[in-house]
Amino acid sequence: MEANIKKLKIQYLEYLEIEKNRSAKTLENYGRYLERFLSFAKVNDIRDLGEEKIRQYRLYLNRIIDANGEPLKKVTQNYHVIALRNFLKYLAKIGVKTVPAERVELGKQEDREVTFLEEGELKRLLDSPKGDKLDTLRDRAILATLFSTGMRVSELCSLDRDKIDLKRGEFSIRGKGSKIRLVFLSYEAKNHLNKYLGGRSDADEALFIRFPKNQGKESNLRLTPRTIQRIVAKHAVRAGIVGKHVSPHSLRHSMATDLLRNGADIRSVQAMLGHANVTTTQIYTHVTDKQLREVHEKFHNKKQN
């Protein structure tokens, strides 16, 4: 069995591409994470890899300081470790003896920060685009669609006009890991999309596009994630939202928070967000904790009152 670790890494990335149908971005990230490990380990033969070398690598990741004097975030360190662990699982799958993947544990990482909008902030943001110009109708539709569906900004950018069923108010999207899920449009989102699309006279297939002055000279009008981030940030400023970094992901957080606060079960929210694991969805549960005091005061130890 081939034991050259660099060749095995290439085979693994090809396996992810062909057998697992992973995205180009996933392949790029895994390739970079594994290359960092190989550069550190300086091991040519997989049989020379041991747990001590992996332990030293974990210390190395924890002690890296970037150009700004900042260490690697715990979540970034874990991305490196996940890539290595999955590589080891692949090696076991093809019969190559090396360190068992289960011997490599993930480090405890800090809780993810969840930025969501309160009801008043959300209303001001969604109402921020004023007027009937086409780019204003587009911005209003973007904000409403992000909040209604909870889509990631990359998913929103990939939407085409002919894939959106405004009559049914639902459609399928391909998310992370090429997994397909169903998302839903609220009445407001359908209304804003109808107005926006009703004003379009171009033939571009993309749902959300730029409107340059000389449209005839532009071949690709589809909005990029960065452009949509700027649009959301611009309207957050206009809405007077201060002290929060408002992004497209904030609307995804807000959608999940809104559902949970109004009684949705976490498994349903998991399905709508496209999370592979419910533990990812559980980051949203703490934002509803302020309701717990009300529950406690209402129901706890009532016999003594």
Q: Side chain identity at 233, as an amino acid letter?
A: A
Residue with tokens 């999940």: 256
Q: What is the dihedral of CA 122, 128, 133, 139, to 10 degrees?
A: -40
Phi then psi for residue 262, to 5 deg, are -95, 10
Known catalytic residue at 226: no
Active-site option among 12, 33, 79, 284: 284
Q: Using DSSP bridges, classify how beta strands 170-174 and 180-184 pair: parallel, antiparallel or unpaired.
A: antiparallel
Active-site option among 176, 181, 200, 261: 176
Question: What is the number of other CB atoms lying within 10 angstroms of the CB of residue 164?
Answer: 19
Are 16 and 22 within 8 A, CB to CB? yes
Q: How far apart are CA 197 and CA 203, in angstroms?
A: 11
Active-site option among 22, 190, 192, 249: 249
Are 38 and 6 within 8 A, CB to CB? yes
Known catalytic residue at 275: yes
Known catalytic residue at 235: no
Known catalytic residue at 176: yes
Known catalytic residue at 90: no
Known catalytic residue at 112: no
Q: How far apart are CA 250 and CA 152, in angstroms?
A: 10
Q: How far apart are CA 173 and CA 154, in angstroms?
A: 11
- Residue positions annotated with a catalytic role: 152, 176, 249, 252, 275, 284
